[in-house]
Amino acid sequence: MNIIESEALELLEFYKIKKYVTDFCYSAGAKQKASQLSVFEANENLTIELHRISELKNTFSSDSFFPEIQFQEFRKEASLLSLEGSMLTEDQFLLVKQATEISNTAIRFLKNKRMILPFLAQLVEGMEDNKQIIEEIDRIIDFDATVKNSASKELQKIRKELSEKRRESDVKFDRQVNELRKLGYIRDNEESFFNGRRTLAVLVEYKSEVSGFVHNKSETGKTIFIEPGATISINNDIAELEIDERREINRILRELSDTLRPFAFQLKQYEALLIELDFIKAKAQFAKLIHATLPVIAKQSELKLNKAYHPILFLQNRESGKQTVPLNLHLEKENHLVVISGPNAGGKSITLKTVGLLQTMLQSGLLVSVAENSVMSFFKHILIDIGDTQSIEHELSTYSARLKNMISILKQVNPDTLVLMDEFGSGTDPELGGAMAEVVLEELVKSKTFGVITTHYSNVKLLANNLQGVSNGSMLFDLETLDPKYILTVGEPGSSYTFEVAERVGFPKELINRAKLKIDTDKVDLNKLLAEVQQQKTKLAEATDRVEHQEFLRKIAKEKYDTLFNNWREKTERDRERKIDLARLADFGQRYLRLMEEWNKNEDRKAVIKRFIDGITAETNKRKELAKQNKRDNFAEKKVARLKPLLKVGSKVRILNSSEIGVIESMKDEKVSITFGILKMTVNIENLELVRD
């Protein structure tokens, strides 16, 4: 049986997802794959596919390079080439060359990125790039899909003769045109072409004055098109040479086809690779569009959705400038069912569809719009009962149709099944429908099936509260504004807010009170209690959001302060170093000026030179010593950073260049107090070495 029925896929609007992916595809082959997207049967292949999409999506998100995969499909050319005696045309060879270049680039790139893109690199395992195909085609075919003159000596000879004959024909034709124009025998549009031959547009009254072969006559009968006699012979030569040229070209193309025929299978591999890369690229681009990620894939059944979005709703809301409220839901072995209640239009159905669509997308090899710390697994069956399934064709009532769905679902439930049921038990008498819903819920619990169920029945909410493995959930609702918050909270059932909504919209209070009297008091009290609990929970959630926002602002402020402080400290340090450099330069300047004065006073210039050299030598030695000290400080700092985490009170240590072993009594900053028998001393960490037992 299928993992998910086609009717369920239609309800989940999976066809819209396929349309998005199809639009991102470039090639017809990839578009066909996208249109046939369906749930994978083999989980191993599914995991590999998901990782490939994730690798490519992350590459796009980081603006890293990935080869362009835009090509014209060449399956026909590869298949034709595999047939003995077949011949490709110039255009077909050019198509094969371009596709091979793209394939070579992709193969080399993925092999070089084997460490970074391991799953994508698997696509080219056992495949090699092929330069020979490109070289052979380049040797014969030019960029404009014509056979090169250099393809053969015979072709070069034929084309040389053709060029000379055409030039000779042009000269004779132009001479004839000039003569007849002077005589006034031809029209303004003095020439035309028929069957590749140039003809003169001769006025009909002068046709006997012009010798040649008549090719055509104008519709008005006033013009006759004549090939001049002077060019007929040479044009015949040209036509014969053109036939020879075509034959030589065909011979060359057959020879080239024979040369490349051994690579026909490799070309088919290239096409399959490019279509697959195009398809994966389309899925990665769609994943980027909806901010999709690859969740953690659990081996055992689990569904932990964090910040999950319905992808189609997310795109629609983004286009209209609305915010999409994320969904948080966790189902696992000990808590595998959740019963969601709450008012109509509060988001129960969209929650159900979000879970169903995301699970279907994942098992169809697509990334899903959830936070990366989400956890999902692969279910053997995804069973869905959403909306009115009444069938006029089979004359089934709504409730009968729902019962048939329940029967079908109950036959397949197990720990590897995900069940999604909307308006659980609806379609018949509420009391009887509620009783049936209880029985079905008990069966789902007994089978340990994973599922999300929505209901308005109080008895189902109470039962869910008492059954192990089931949780109640509710959609938060603002009682003051009557606006749904579209937020799922798990832990308590939700109120339907029937009377509250009626009162807010102006329904007569007297009628509301009469309606309350007709209902069991316990039910009214329960509904009121649920409404109050939910309202308190809403306020608590809002308060929590405010606290989290304040904490976020505090964190941002601290980071800003730290950044400004670090910038100020760096600037201060730079200013200090600049002042030191300026002071040093000023000192050098003063010394230089004094030496200049002494030199100009005609004193002993040898002594002046000696003082200059001594000063330079002293400064150089000073700088060398400073560099050594900095090196020692850096070494000491690194040694402290390495040794300090290993030292503790009681550790045995030895002072460098000493054989005595002491024991650490206390540590403070980078100072260590050590006892050597009755002797105690304090030593810097960089002067110690740890003694291993």
Distance CA 167, CA 188 (A): 23
Pick the more confident residue, 227 or 446.
446
Non-local (6+) Cβ contacts of 422 within 8 A are 348, 349, 352, 385, 386, 387, 454
Six token digits for residue 218: 């104008």
Distance CA 247, CA 256 (A): 14
The CATH number corresponding to 296-494 among 3.40.50.300, 1.10.10.60, 3.20.20.70, 3.90.226.10 equals 3.40.50.300
The domain segmentation of the chain, as residue ranges, is: 19-144+259-289, 150-252, 296-494, 560-639, 647-690
Distance CA 480, CA 504 (A): 9
Query: Could you report the per-residue pLDDT of 409-451, keeping only the tens digit for each?
Result: 888 888 999 999 887 656 555 566 677 778 888 888 899 999 9
> Which backbone phi and psi does 471 adopt, to 5 degrees?
-125, 145
Six token digits for residue 507: 């329904």
The percent of residues above 70 in pLDDT, for the chain, comes to 83
Query: Could you report the per-residue pLDDT of 50-89, keeping only the tens digit for each?
Result: 999 999 999 998 888 999 988 888 889 999 999 999 999 9
Distance CA 479, CA 245 (A): 88
DSSP secondary structure, 553-583, as one string: HHHHHHHHHHHHHHHHHHHHHHHHHHHHHHH
553 pLDDT more than 80: no
Non-local (6+) Cβ contacts of 41 within 8 A are 3
Distance CA 409, CA 94 (A): 56
Query: Same CATH topology for 19-144+259-289 and 150-252?
Result: yes
Pick the more confident residue, 431 or 595.
595
Across 159-163, 533-537, 596-600, which has the greatest mean pLDDT? 159-163
- What kind of fold does domain 19-144+259-289 have according to CATH? MutS, DNA mismatch repair protein; Chain A, domain 3 (1.10.1420)
Its pTM stands at 0.68
Non-local (6+) Cβ contacts of 166 within 8 A are 238
Distance CA 36, CA 34 (A): 5
Cα–Cα–Cα angle for 76, 82, 85, nearest 5°?
110
Under a CB-based contact definition with an 8 Å cutoff, are residues 474 and 342 in contact? yes
- What kind of fold does domain 150-252 have according to CATH? MutS, DNA mismatch repair protein; Chain A, domain 3 (1.10.1420)
Pick the more confident residue, 562 or 440.
440
pLDDT at 501: 57
Q: CATH assignment of 647-690?
A: 2.30.30
Distance CA 164, CA 159 (A): 9
Fill in the amino acid letter for 39. Answer: V
Query: Could you report the per-residue pLDDT of 79-136, keeping only the tens digit for each?
Result: 999 999 999 999 999 999 999 999 999 999 999 999 999 999 999 999 999 999 999 9
The CB density around residue 667, as the number of other CB atoms within 10 Å, is 16
Rg (CA), the chain: 43
Report the range of poorest mean pLDDT among 374-378, 408-412, 489-493. Answer: 489-493
The percent of residues above 90 in pLDDT, for the chain, comes to 35
Query: Could you report the per-residue pLDDT of 176-220, keeping only the tens digit for each?
Result: 888 888 888 887 666 678 777 888 888 888 888 888 888 888 888
Query: Could you report the per-residue pLDDT of 277-316, keeping only the tens digit for each?
Result: 999 999 999 999 999 999 999 999 999 999 999 999 999 9
Instruction: Share the mean pLDDT of the chain.
Output: 82
